[in-house]
Amino acid sequence: MSSSFRAFQGVILLAGFIFLYAPIVILAAMSFNASRLVSVWGGFSTQWYEALFDNEQLMQSAWISLLDATISSCLATILGLLAAVGLARFGAFRSRLLFFGAIHAPLVLPEVVLGLALLSCFVALGVGRGFTTLVIGHVTFTMCFTTVALLAAIRECDPTLEEAAMDLGAPPLNAFLLVALPQIAPALASAFLLAFTLALDDLVIASFATGPGATTLPMRIYSQVRLGVSPQINAISTLLLGMVAVAMGGGALLMRLAGRRRR
């Protein structure tokens, strides 16, 4: 490869990663700024973090968000697994096209539309909105993502392995559990994480689906952010970013170790 291409490559990569990471890094730096103003460095301080932990509303919302994300992503992963098995393994059954389309619809459905639809439905059914409806909304929203991820994994999985298991005396369900499941375990984990992240992060659907008493963290952040830059929001954002960074770093490390052991 020519040296001019190498130079171009280096510049592009550098510029690209600066574009991706600078806003995040600046945000994190500002959370330690003693000054309230964005552009003035008032010295290093952790006062915004301290304020954060005294903010009971915020802490409660964080708890609700975590609980909601955990429950909804578990449900979405299970439903996604069932749907993916059906789509990958049951052949061209009747109503498959409808099912396939419906499962994938939330991928192209604007969140505002899905939120609106869910809210109308809850109101029409006379269901009081709250934590349960929040979870229902998030399962519906994230299920298509888990299905897509798991569908790809199940397709990768050689069906003759399950046939071999059946040939050796395992009934179909056992064959799936003993042979296919261990192989799609990584995909299962990443589908769960994807659903978890989406649910934890979602503002739009939560705003429509939830009710009083179940205000999520993104909703709190959003209502603050609309008023402008707030150091406390910087602090909680940095915490969230840090958590993701630690989780990703840990995940990458684990994968590496697992990969090395396998070799």
Partner 1 sequence: MKEAPRLTRGQLLVLLAPYLWIGAFLLAPLLLILKISLSQSVLARPPYRPLFELADGIAGLWSKAQTLTLDAYRTLFTDSLYLDAYISSLTIAAIATLVTLLVAYPFALAMARAPANWRPFLIGLAAAPFWTSFLIRVYAWIALLKDEGLINKALIALGMIDTPIEMFATRFAVIVGIVYSYLPFMLLPIYAALERQDPTLREASADLGASPFETFLRVTLPLSREGVIAGVLLVFIPAVGEFVIPDLLGGSDTLMIGRTLWNDFFANHDWPTASAAAVVLLALLIAPLVALERLRYDPKKDGS
Partner 2 sequence: MNAGSAIDPAMDMKPLLSIRHICKNYGDTTALDDVSLTIARGEFFALLGPSGCGKTTLMRCIAGFETPDAGQLVLDGCDLAGMPPYRRPVNMMFQSYALFPHLNVYENVAFGLRRKGLAKDVIEARVSELLRLTQLIPYGARRINELSGGQRQRVALARALAPGPTLLLLDEPLGALDRKLREETQFHLKQIQRETGTSFMIVTHDQDEALALADRVAVMRAGRIEQIASPNDIYDRPASRFVAGFVGDTNFIDGVVHHQSAAHLVTDFGAITLSDCQLADGAGATLSIRPEDILARHEGAGIAGVVEDFVFRGDNTLLRVRVSDAMTLRVATWDSRFAVGERVVLQFPAETPALFAESA
- Interface with partner 2 (CB under 8 A): 158, 160-161, 163-172, 174-175, 178-179, 182-183, 262
The one of partner 2, partner 1, none whose footprint includes residue 169, by CB under 5 to 8 A per kind, is partner 2
- What does the alpha-carbon distance between residue 240 and residue 37 come to, in Å, rounded to a whole number? 22
Q: Kindly report the CA angle at 78 between 76 and 81, in degrees rounded to 5?
A: 105
- What does the alpha-carbon distance between residue 86 and residue 214 come to, in Å, rounded to a whole number? 34
The one of partner 1, partner 2, none whose footprint includes residue 246, by CB under 5 to 8 A per kind, is none
Evaluate whether 204 touches 112 at the Cβ level (below 8 Å): yes
Considering only residues 32-51, where is the footprint of partner 1 by CB under 8 A? 37-39
The one of partner 2, partner 1, none whose footprint includes residue 116, by CB under 5 to 8 A per kind, is partner 1
- What does the alpha-carbon distance between residue 159 and residue 180 come to, in Å, rounded to a whole number? 8
To the nearest whole angstrom, how small is the minimum distance from the Cβ of residue 162 to partner 1? 14
Identity of the residue, 175 or 221, whose beta carbon is nearer to partner 2 in the bound complex = 175
Contacts with partner 1: how many residues (CB under 8 A)?
89
State how far the alpha carbon of 159 is from the alpha carbons of 153, 162, 166, 181, in Å: 12, 5, 11, 12
Considering only residues 206-245, where is the footprint of partner 1 by CB under 8 A? 208, 218, 221-222, 225-226, 228-229, 233, 237, 240-241, 244-245
State how far the alpha carbon of 46 is from the alpha carbons of 16, 31, 43, in Å: 31, 8, 10
Identity of the residue, 50 or 167, whose beta carbon is nearer to partner 2 in the bound complex = 167
The type of residue at 159 is: P
Identity of the residue, 16 or 213, whose beta carbon is nearer to partner 1 in the bound complex = 16
The one of partner 1, partner 2, none whose footprint includes residue 124, by CB under 5 to 8 A per kind, is partner 1
State how far the alpha carbon of 105 is from the alpha carbons of 136, 141, 143, in Å: 16, 9, 10
> Which of 52, 69, 200, 214 forms a contact with partner 1 (CB under 8 A)?
200
- What does the alpha-carbon distance between residue 179 and residue 189 come to, in Å, rounded to a whole number? 17
Kindly state whether residue 106 participates in binding partner 1, applying the rule CB under 8 A.
Answer: yes
Considering only residues 141-170, where is the footprint of partner 1 by CB under 8 A? 143, 147
